[in-house]
Amino acid sequence: MSLFPSMNHRGVWITTLMAASILMITMGTRQSMGLYVSPLNTATGLGMVTISLAMAIGQFVWGVVQPIAGAFADKYGPRPVLLYGLFILVIGSALTPFVNSSLGLILTLGVLTAMGSGACSFSVLLGAAAQRMPAESRGMASGIINAGGSFGQFVFAPIIQKLIQWLGWMGSMWSMAVLTLLAIPLLNRLTSDTHAPAKAPDPEGGLKKAVRDAMSNPSYLLLHLGFFTCGFHIAFLVTHLPTEVGLCGLTPAVASWSLALIGLANILGSLYAGSCVNVYRSKYVLACMYGSRAVLIALYLAAPKTEWTFYAFAVGLGFTWLATVPPTAAIVGKLFGVRYLATLFGLTLLSHQIGGFFGAYLGGLAFESQGNYQWMWWADIALSGMAALINLPIKEAPIARLKTA
């Protein structure tokens, strides 16, 4: 008997694993960028606020790219979008060590790398996978693809930290640019038999009408608000957790292993969330995840700041880290179908990354003004609690237009 009965098809597994592997590389490097903050600040003297601003702009640009990349993938197919995105990511990473000004850092780290990784991320990969498998496989497949991104964080965080120690932050950044090219054969395999969608008659009225319908749907808007909080929380931690570890007198290795443990725990969380999508209402899954974050942060604030506290905190948070993606994508699919899933889910990711902008940038301002992140932790608790409540009124039934179609 299969462990994943909804995935009993070779083509489904190939599609899922190729998409997960691409996400492992692009998200693994992206989610470990916080390890560069301190060495970048020491080498360039640009200051924590400037570096945080560049990281925050990167969060926002990554989100803006999601619906745009999704729309291009819906129109032209995923292959050109993924290929161009990958090369932009490599160029941005390779150029970052050459800059020594705030504008240059914003251009490379905040724009180019974010554009590239955004084009090779959730909206395009989940949309491409969903259109190539039966409905009963999509929930678990999205969990496995999402787990690929988490596994990338588990793998790349300690690798990047070691490369920084051995080669310096510049050598490490160039090495990661080269390693990113490993996604090319995976991309070729994933999209080898895909083409731009045929221009068949569209009874739903096209992309513009789909977006208008979505933006007038209260459940879709509530989903955006909850995902905004998720982005705020994740971007703050990805950018500033290494600095928080340093404030507690612990070594950079604790920070890298904490990020790695977050990724490892989220593999389990993503798979669990993917399985729950087929059994429970996705809005209840999301409410539980957001609510648990508020509890975990409160426990962290009360605990002694030892390395084992950080490791336990990382495992607890990691279980829900990006495991919010499968139930969020599932709700979008239930409401509007999968024809424009890449675009519509891309718009929810934009909300996520607007929250990410504020999480990364306000963290830098908090550190500059207070010398710590205390009020950011309390903001995280409040927003997590709010997100848990916001998801409860969501109605997951398909809208009437799709029922009749």
Query: What total of structural domains would you count in the chain?
Result: 1
For 305, left (φ over 0), alpha (ψ -120 to 50), or beta?
A: beta
Residue 309, Cβ density class (10 Å: 0-12 exposed, 13-18 middle, ≥19 buried): middle
Report yes or no on 2 lying in a domain.
no
What secondary structure letter does DSSP report for 398?
A: P
Against a cut of 0.85, is the pTM above it? no
Number of helices and strands in the chain (H, E) = 18, 0
Report yes or no on 267 lying in a domain.
yes
pLDDT score at 402:
45
Q: What are the backbone angles phi and psi of residue 338, rounded to the nearest 5°? A: -105, -5
CA dist 86 and 107 (Å) reads 17
Report yes or no on 353 lying in a domain.
yes
Report yes or no on 1 lying in a domain.
no
For 193, left (φ over 0), alpha (ψ -120 to 50), or beta?
A: alpha
Tracing tokens 């409040």 back to the chain, one arrives at 382
Report yes or no on 199 lying in a domain.
no
Q: What are the backbone angles phi and psi of residue 38, rounded to the nearest 5°? A: -65, -50
C-alpha 40 chain-centroid distance: 23
> What percentage of the chain's residues is helix, strand, coil (to nearest 5)?
80, 0, 20
| Residue 60, CA distances (Å) to 98, 119, 207, 350, 360 in order | 23, 13, 23, 7, 10
pLDDT in tens, the chain (405 residues): 344 444 456 677 888 888 888 989 988 888 788 889 888 888 888 888 899 899 889 888 988 887 888 888 878 888 899 999 999 999 999 999 999 899 999 999 999 999 999 898 877 887 777 777 776 676 677 778 877 877 887 888 888 988 998 999 999 999 999 989 988 888 887 776 554 444 444 545 677 888 888 888 999 999 999 999 998 988 898 888 888 999 999 988 898 899 889 888 888 887 888 788 878 888 999 999 999 999 999 999 999 999 999 999 999 988 988 788 889 888 888 888 777 777 888 788 888 889 988 998 899 899 888 888 999 999 999 999 999 999 999 987 654 444 444
End-to-end alpha-carbon separation of the chain, Å? 36
CATH (domain of 278): 1.20.1250.20
Report yes or no on 175 lying in a domain.
yes
Those residues whose C-beta lies under 8 Å from the C-beta of residue 210, and which sit 6 or more positions away, are 204, 336, 339, 340, 343, 344
CA dist 387 and 138 (Å) reads 25
Report yes or no on 19 lying in a domain.
yes
What residue numbers bound the domain in which 261 lies? 9-189+207-404
Report yes or no on 285 lying in a domain.
yes
